[in-house]
């Protein structure tokens, strides 16, 4: 299997503050890779570097064998930001069609993708509503739909299920697995440990460093405990 995302010795600092310290990790093609870590550990910063919105202070990042940042690469990456970035004065459908037209999609594909993505996140009945009248969860779902709009090979989802009820969360994870089955590579950040269980591989991030990584089972075995939550506490505790 080819590696989809390769991160090598990446450091990132804002001014004097070092936010990421020597991060290296590899996401293989077709994996669901989970980044877990407490608030402020640097997950979002790392994700933005992978998308190419910022440059690392040191180190290299490659996605699909292309050095980041690269404009053409963005066609193949679906990004869901942690904070909903939607045009609240437009309807859900207008948001989707705006983002769709920023990617190379013909009119017919655009229509299909919009209805597919809206359907996936159960927003079809609300497409004509303005986003300012959406609930928090609905906005989250619309953000996910926007990330999927161009049928990207790589999905980067920054805390995709925050504010989404358990039922819908289940269905979103089911869809993430379906996307994986169709050959996509998915990088997810999360706080929620039971979501971490659903990943193929995990990296635990704390204070800008990868504490440990491996499959959920490996991690549990390594620390000799049954729940990932404990792994998290233990790994962090070892350090501090």
Ligand X SMILES: Nc1ncnc2c1ncn2[C@@H]1O[C@H](COP(=O)(O)OP(=O)(O)OP(=O)(O)O)[C@@H](O)[C@H]1O
CB nearer Mg ion, residue 43 or residue 140: 43
Q: Which stretch binds Mg ion (CB under 5 A): 41-49, 96-104, 110-118, 166-174?
A: 41-49
Nearest distance, CB of residue 208 and Mg ion, angstroms: 13
Give the number of other Cβ atoms within 10 Å of residue 118's Cβ: 22
Rounded Cα distance between 99 and 101, Å, is: 5
Longest dimension (CA), the chain: 55
51 binds, among other proteins, Mg ion, ligand X, none (CB under 5 to 8 A by kind): other proteins
User: Which whole-number Å values give the CA distances from 123 to 105, 126, 153, in the listed order?
Assistant: 21, 5, 23
x-or-dash string of contact with ligand X, 41-80, rule CB under 6 A: xxxxx-----------------------------------
In the chain, how many H helices and how many E strands? 9, 10
| 190 DSSP β-pair partners | 36
Beta carbons of 7 and 24 less than 8 angstroms apart:
yes
Select from 21-29, 34-42, 124-132, 193-201 the region that touches ligand X (CB under 6 A): 34-42
Binding partner of residue 83 among other proteins, Mg ion, ligand X, none, CB cut-off 5 to 8 Å per kind = other proteins
List residues binding Mg ion (CB under 5 A).
43-44, 82
List residues binding ligand X (CB under 6 A).
14, 17, 19, 37, 39-45, 82
């Amino acid at each position: 299997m080819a590696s989809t995302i390769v991160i090598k010795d990446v450091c990132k600092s804002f001014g004097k503050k070092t936010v990421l310290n020597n991060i290296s990790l590899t996401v293989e093609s077709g994996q669901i890779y989970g980044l877990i870590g407490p608030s402020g550990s640097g997950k979002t910063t790392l994700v933005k570097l992978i998308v190419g919105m910022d440059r690392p202070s040191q180190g290299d990042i490659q996605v699909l064998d292309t050095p980041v940042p690269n404009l053409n690469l963005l066609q193949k990456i679906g990004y869901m930001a942690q904070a909903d970035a939607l045009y609240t004065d437009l309807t859900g459908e207008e948001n989707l069609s705006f983002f769709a037209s920023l990617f190379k999609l013909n009119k017919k594909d655009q229509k299909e993708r919009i209805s597919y993505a809206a359907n996936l996140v159960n927003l079809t009945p609300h497409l004509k509503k303005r986003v300012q009248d959406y609930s928090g969860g609905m906005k989250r779902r619309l953000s996910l739909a926007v990330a999927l709009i161009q049928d990207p090979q790589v999905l980067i989802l920054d805390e995709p299920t925050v504010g989404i009820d358990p039922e819908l969360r289940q269905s979103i994870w089911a869809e993430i697995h379906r996307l994986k089955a169709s050959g996509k590579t998915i990088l997810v950040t999360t706080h929620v440990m039971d979501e971490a269980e659903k990943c193929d591989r995990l990296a635990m991030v704390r204070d800008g460093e990868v504490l440990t990584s491996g499959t959920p089972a490996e991690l549990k075995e390594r620390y000799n405990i049954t729940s990932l939550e404990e792994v998290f506490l233990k790994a962090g505790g070892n350090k501090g």
